[in-house]
């Protein structure tokens, strides 16, 4: 039994007089202790909404959340708000994309960190301050005592993200959700932060759910990868299998459209046609079909199911997957 | 003669203070002496992290910001000294594509109006109908539907908006297009479409590009020559393939090693140079080599003398005193060894003399070194100010490398060294609020605090002073 079991999670935004918009459409995955699972996809694929749904951070009005999210045997979608509040920060924690807007600009870092320690671990006064300084120290912020007194704007981007990570790991959470933790950072800082996250997973056995659009980051850190498109996983596999043999045309296309630092020059990129706006509802067929180079009429009749056309554990939602033969002819 | 040549271009922004009188209290050295040349029909890629001045440089070429000094020679004319009206006319030939496709298009103008505005300003096309024909041709070229003319920017997707931005540049039939982060706001699948479009247009129209981006992989893909910027100056310039095959400047090496590659096999075996800390403020750049505060191979000379961009052959230019030595391995990592030495021989006065240097040492983790990932991250920690931390740092354990390289090193004009030194003598050890953000010039530091060894850390006086400092430290620990 994995630590986190997400089963057929769906999120629908609606409201009076507005057409329902399905952001997440039946996503299932599991995260085990000490494991890094990636959710990858482009903007609008539902990866961030998934993370918000797991943390219970979606607004209650106008949002319908379905499916089951089992964390350590408890269904996070049905437990009381109060209980969830106790778990958030202590057992579940989240790191957001933009560290500046996720920190309160008018409160010093120290107070923001000790707040968590007070709420979940009952630490007060000097004990809390000492623990907070230790936390900042652990995530590699130089001179933590002084930094505790500073405001978010006085810290650099990388340091803010470190402070946010310090807050997230303050209570040694069992599951850490990182939503694009390095997107706002420069590559050299990104490397520092990723190294820090890896270390957390290795040392503490934290389960990490990594949400990102950057396949390079995924290749470096994730054990299992779920590629999302229009609210559904289209391919799930171990990172080695996925990158060695991307089988869904979307995953295949994504990898073909990234310029690689180590690729020989002069090779043209193979972009995916159209944009995410050209999707059809999963209920009618494959949402990716309008952009797909391999689509057949079969793609437009009924929802494709997850199958394992290649190896066990490598799931693909496609009726006409990119198999070795097709790769050659493409 | 290259089509576009920059010679020692500087853009300094004054920092003003005061309510009634704008006193200039300093400058932000955004671009500080850049020379480069872009050949006709080629693509020059400028890479660097945020805050390195790459965007400012791009804007300076078009004189969208004032150039403090230097020359921008385009096709034989120095743009830096042109009167405004003549510059305006020149802008037809030099166009720009901006990063944020939505922010750079007026939401209240339809596409036809956006695209024809520049044409009218530069007298292209005889009348409206004529212009419309031209615009239609360009729209087809950039892959937008012909019915876009009467639509507004919000009706388009991100990739299409960027195409509009490109079309806006193209209608003026420019020679050079400056692309400032042309794809960084777009999703990867769309990025590839826009990159391919840019390449296609270059081929068919013979355009010259100056591409500014932070994504090394994108820049490498489209550029013929790449310039790497750090804190307002070029640290390395080379043909794209040469730069990838053999980066010579320590910063380029670190940058390249940090770019994630979408391939687990590559990711698992590549060596990574983790830089410590952040980019220093361009308002107060370090003396000497701008990179010396973060460089894993830093040497004595680096803090004193600013290296110039020198050609090592085949157009591979590097601004580093020790590029050759680093490449053939005669210089070892100075930062990592430094800290090990200090902690290992904590009580000896000799090494203590070098303490301030060592304090700021925690720099890089390179896989070759035996420190594991965890250790490196720990090393990277706050050795600077809190005294106990220095002594307690877990790195103490693996200390065998003695401090001979360290002892010979001068006190770099480094912020951390400075802070550390101050704390050692100030009994209160009150942290200086600003100290870390501002590099205090060396001489000043020495005045303030004798404990900072200057050139010969082994001299008695200095050793004594530092010894006292260290004594206090041991006590506190």
> What ranges do the domains of chain B cover?
4-244, 334-476
- Mean pLDDT value across residues B95-112: 91
Please report how many Cα atoms fall inside a 13 Å half-sphere around the Cα of residue B214, on the Cβ side: 19
- Are the C-beta atoms of residues A280 and A287 closer than 8 Å to each other? yes
Contact B416, B445 (CB under 8 A): no
Question: Rounded distance, CA B317 to CA B320, Å?
Answer: 9
Q: Is B39's pLDDT higher than 50?
A: yes
Work out the minimum CA distance from A261 to partner chain B, whole angstroms: 4
Closest Cβ–Cβ partner in B240, B258, B416 for A265: B240
Residue B96 clears pLDDT 90, i.e. is over it: yes
For chain A, residues with pLDDT lower than 50 are: 326-330
Residue position matching structure tokens 């400075």: B418
Q: Is the pLDDT of residue B427 over 80?
A: no
Q: With 50 as the cut, is the pLDDT of residue B360 above it?
A: no
- CB–CB contact B380 A140 (8 Å): yes
> Does the structure show a pLDDT above 60 at B421?
no
**Cα separation of B114 and B103, whole Å?**
13
Superfamily of domain B4-244 in the CATH hierarchy: P-loop containing nucleotide triphosphate hydrolases (3.40.50.300)
User: Among partner residues B193, B222, B262, which is closest to A216 by beta-carbon distance?
Assistant: B262
Query: Would you call B113 helix, strand, or coil by DSSP?
Result: helix
Query: To probe the interface with A, which of B51, B145, B186, B192 has the most A CB atoms within 10 Å?
Result: B192
Choose the closest CB to A258 out of B188, B222, B266: B188
**What's the whole-number mean pLDDT along residues B448-465?**
43
Query: Mind spelling out the 3-state secondary structure of chain A?
Result: CCCEEEEEEEEEEEECCEEEEEEEEEEEEEECCCCEEEEECCCCCCHHHHHHHHHCCCCCCCEEEEEEEEECCEECCCCCHHHHHHHECCCEEEECCCHHHHCCCCCCHHHHHHHHHHHHHCCCHHHHHHHHHHHHHHCCCCCHHHHHCCCHHHCCHHHHHHHHHHHHCCCCCCEEEEECCCCCCCHHHHHHHHHHHHHHHHHHCCEEEEEECCHHHHHHHCCEEEEEECCEEEEEEEHHHHHHCCCCHHHHHHHHCCCCCCCCCCCCCCCCCCCHHHCCCHHHCCCCHHHCCCCCHHHHCCCCCEECCCCCCCEEECCCCCCHHHHHHC
Facing residue for A141 by CB, picked from B264, B382, B419: B382
CB atoms within 10 A of CB B449: 18
Instruction: Please give the pLDDT value at position B397.
Output: 39
Residue A288: list chain B partners with CB under 8 A: none
Complex ipTM: 0.85
Find chain B residues with C-beta within 8 A of A146's C-beta: 385, 431, 433
Tokens of B425: 């003598």
Strand order in the sheet with A92-95: A92-95, A175-179, A207-212, A36-40, A224-229, A232-238, A315-317, A306-307
Is A261's Cβ below 8 Å from some Cβ in B?
yes
Residues of chain A in contact with residue B245, where contact means CB-CB under 8 angstroms, are none
What confidence category does residue B265 fall into, taking pLDDT thresholds of 50, 70 and 90? Answer: confident
Per-residue pLDDT band for B248 (boundaries 50, 70, 90) equals: very high
CB contact under 8 A, B260 and A145: no
- pLDDT grade for B131, boundaries at 50, 70 and 90: very high
Query: Touching check for B127 and chain A: CB below 8 Å?
Result: no
Residue B428 pLDDT grade (very low, low, confident, very high; cuts 50, 70, 90): very low
Does the beta-carbon distance from B196 to A156 stay under 8 Å? Answer: no
**Inter-chain CB proximity B385 and A195 less than 8 Å:** no
Flag the least confident range among A317-326, B179-188, B324-333: A317-326
Residue of A nearest to B218 (CA): A259
A189 contact B CB<8A: yes
Q: Which of B191, B258, B262 sits opposite A255 (nearest CB)?
A: B262
| A188 contacts chain B (CB < 8 A) | yes
Judged by a CB distance cut-off of 8 A, whether residue A230 touches chain B is no
Residue B336: predicted pLDDT: 53
Q: How far apart are the first and last CA of chain B?
A: 64
pLDDT of residue B196: 93
How close B35 gets to chain A, by Cα (Å)?
Answer: 25
DSSP state of B178: E
Q: What's the mean pLDDT when you consider all of chain B?
A: 76
* B431: nearest CB among A140, A146, A272: A146
Res. B350 pLDDT band, cuts 50 70 90: very low
Q: Is the CB of residue A144 less than 8 Å away from at least one CB of chain B?
A: yes
Question: Å from B6 to nearest chain A CA?
Answer: 26
pLDDT > 60? residue B445: no
Q: Which of A141, A244, A268 is opposite residue B196, by nearest beta carbon?
A: A268
Given an 8 Å threshold on Cβ–Cβ distance, is A143 in contact with B256?
no
pLDDT at B332: 78
pLDDT of the residue at B223: 93
pLDDT of residue A324: 64
- Per residue in B268-316, pLDDT (tens digit) is 887 788 887 778 888 888 999 999 998 988 888 999 999 999 998 889 9
pLDDT grade, residue B395 (50/70/90)?
Answer: very low
Which pLDDT value is given to residue A156? 85
On whether any CB of chain A is under 8 Å from the CB of B200, the answer is no
Query: Does A56 lie at the interface with B, CB-CB under 8 angstroms?
Result: no
């Amino acid at each position: 039994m994995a630590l986190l079991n997400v089963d057929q999670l769906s999120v629908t935004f609606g409201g009076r007089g507005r057409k329902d918009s399905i952001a997440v459409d039946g996503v299932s995955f599991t995260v085990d202790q000490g494991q890094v699972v990636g959710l990858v996809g482009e903007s609008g694929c539902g990866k961030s909404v998934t993370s918000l749904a797991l943390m219970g951070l979606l607004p209650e009005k106008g949002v319908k959340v379905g499916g089951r999210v089992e964390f350590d045997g408890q269904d996070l979608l049905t437990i009381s708000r109060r209980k969830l509040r106790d778990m958030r920060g202590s057992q579940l924690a989240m790191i957001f994309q933009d560290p500046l807007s996720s920190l309160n600009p008018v409160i010093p870092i120290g107070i923001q960190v000790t707040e968590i320690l007070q709420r979940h671990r009952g630490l007060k006064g000097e004990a809390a301050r000492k623990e907070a300084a230790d936390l900042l120290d652990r995530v590699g912020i130089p001179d933590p005592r002084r930094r505790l007194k500073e405001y978010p704007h006085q810290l650099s981007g990388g340091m803010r993200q470190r402070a946010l990570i310090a807050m997230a790991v303050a209570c040694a959470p069992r599951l850490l959700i990182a939503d694009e933790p390095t997107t706002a950072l420069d590559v050299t800082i990104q490397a520092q932060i990723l190294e820090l996250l890896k270390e957390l997973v290795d040392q503490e056995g934290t389960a990490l759910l990594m949400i990102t659009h950057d396949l390079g980051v995924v290749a470096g850190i994730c054990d299992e990868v779920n590629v999302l498109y229009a609210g559904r996983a289209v391919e799930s596999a171990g990172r080695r299998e996925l990158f060695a043999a991307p089988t869904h045309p979307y995953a295949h296309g994504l990898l073909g459209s990234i310029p690689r630092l180590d690729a020989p020059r002069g090779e043209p990129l193979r972009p995916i046609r159209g944009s995410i706006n050209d999707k059809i509802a999963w209920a009618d067929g494959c949402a990716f079909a309008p952009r797909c180079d391999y689509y057949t009429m079969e793609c437009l009749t009924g929802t494709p199911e997850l199958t394992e056309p290649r190896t066990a554990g490598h799931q693909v939602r496609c009726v006409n997957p990119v198999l070795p033969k097709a790769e050659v002819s493409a | 003669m290259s089509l576009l040549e920059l010679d020692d271009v500087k853009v300094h922004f004054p920092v003003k203070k005061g309510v009634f009188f704008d006193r200039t209290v300093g400058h932000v050295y955004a671009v500080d002496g850049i020379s480069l040349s872009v050949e006709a029909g080629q693509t020059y890629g400028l890479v660097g992290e945020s805050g390195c001045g790459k965007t400012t440089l791009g804007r300076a070429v078009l004189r969208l910001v004032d150039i403090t000094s230097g020359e921008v020679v385009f096709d034989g004319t120095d743009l830096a000294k042109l009167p405004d009206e003549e510059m305006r006319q020149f802008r037809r030939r030099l166009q720009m594509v901006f990063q944020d496709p939505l922010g750079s298009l007026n939401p209240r103008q339809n596409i036809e109006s956006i695209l024809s505005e520049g044409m009218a300003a530069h007298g292209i096309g005889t009348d409206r109908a004529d212009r419309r024909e031209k615009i239609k041709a360009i729209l087809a070229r950039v892959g937008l539907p012909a019915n876009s003319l009467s639509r507004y920017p919000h009706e388009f997707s991100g990739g299409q908006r960027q195409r509009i931005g490109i079309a806006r540049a193209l209608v003026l039939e420019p020679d050079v297009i400056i692309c400032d982060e042309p794809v960084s706001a777009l999703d990867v699948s769309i990025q590839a479409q826009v990159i391919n479009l840019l390449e296609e247009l270059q081929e068919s129209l013979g355009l010259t590009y100056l591409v500014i981006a932070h994504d090394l992989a994108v820049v490498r893909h489209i550029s013929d020559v790449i310039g790497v910027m750090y804190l307002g100056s070029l640290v390395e310039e080379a043909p794209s393939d040469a730069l990838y095959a053999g980066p010579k400047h320590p910063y380029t090496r670190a940058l390249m090693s940090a770019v994630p590659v979408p391939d687990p096999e590559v990711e698992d075996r590549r060596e990574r140079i983790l830089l410590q800390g952040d980019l220093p403020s361009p308002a107060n750049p370090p003396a000497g080599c701008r990179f010396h505060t973060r460089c894993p191979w830093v040497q004595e000379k680096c803090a004193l003398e600013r290296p110039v961009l020198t050609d090592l052959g085949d157009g591979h230019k590097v601004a580093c005193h020790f590029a050759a030595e680093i490449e053939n391995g005669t210089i070892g990592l100075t930062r990592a060894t430094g800290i090990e030495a200090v902690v290992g021989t904590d009580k000896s006065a000799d090494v203590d003399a070098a303490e301030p240097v060592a304090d700021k040492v925690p720099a890089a983790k390179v896989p070759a070194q035996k420190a594991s990932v965890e250790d490196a991250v720990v090393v990277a920690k706050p050795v600077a100010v809190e005294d106990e931390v220095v002594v307690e740092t877990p790195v103490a354990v693996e200390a065998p490398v003695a401090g001979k390289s360290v002892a010979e090193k001068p006190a770099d004009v480094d912020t951390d060294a400075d802070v550390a030194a101050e704390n050692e003598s100030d009994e209160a050890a009150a942290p200086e609020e600003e100290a870390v953000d501002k590099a205090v010039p060396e001489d000043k530091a020495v005045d303030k605090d004798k404990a900072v060894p200057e050139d010969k850390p082994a001299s008695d006086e200095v050793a004594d002073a530092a010894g006292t400092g260290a004594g206090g430290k041991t006590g506190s620990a």
